[in-house]
């Protein structure tokens, strides 16, 4: 089974992405901040990392992904940009 790590400070945002991935058969782990994301990335070695553009405890989502890659992650990465609401 493919595994994914979803990183988003918003519980609602994590639930949305997690729900979509689980519907297509992914095993999903969630993190609300960079500290938890670093630990989970090392513990579960996900195939996919989906992150918000802004993550507490990191300069930003892309910087966290660079950090995970430098630590040896071979996951595919996807950054989800937040869109302001009117």
At 73, is the pLDDT very low, low, confident or very high (cuts 50, 70, 90)? very high
Q: What are the residue boundaries of the structural domains of the chain, listed by start?
A: 6-80
> Regarding predicted confidence, which is higher, 81 or 24?
24
Say which residues have a Cβ less than 8 Å from residue 9's Cβ, sequence separation at least 6: 32, 33, 52, 54, 55, 56
Q: Is residue 22 predicted with pLDDT exceeding 80?
A: yes
Does residue 11 sit in helix, strand or coil? helix
What kind of architecture, by CATH, is found in domain 6-80?
3-Layer(aba) Sandwich (3.40)
Helix axis angle, 34-44 to 61-70, nearest 10°: 30
Q: 27-31, 42-46, 48-52, 55-59 — which is least confidently predicted? A: 55-59
Side-chain half-sphere CA neighbours of 18 within 13 A: 16
Rg (the chain; Cα; Å): 12
pTM equals 0.91
Q: How many residues does the chain have?
A: 86
- Find the mean pLDDT for residues 48-68: 92
């Amino acid at each position: 089974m493919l595994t994914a790590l979803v990183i988003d400070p918003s519980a609602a945002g994590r639930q949305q992405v997690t729900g979509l991935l689980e519907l297509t058969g992914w095993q999903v782990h969630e993190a609300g901040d960079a500290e938890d994301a670093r630990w989970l990335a090392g513990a579960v070695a996900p195939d996919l990392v989906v992150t918000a553009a802004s993550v507490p405890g990191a300069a930003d989502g892309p910087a966290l992904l660079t950090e995970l890659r430098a630590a040896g992650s071979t996951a595919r990465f996807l950054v989800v940009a937040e869109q302001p609401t009117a």
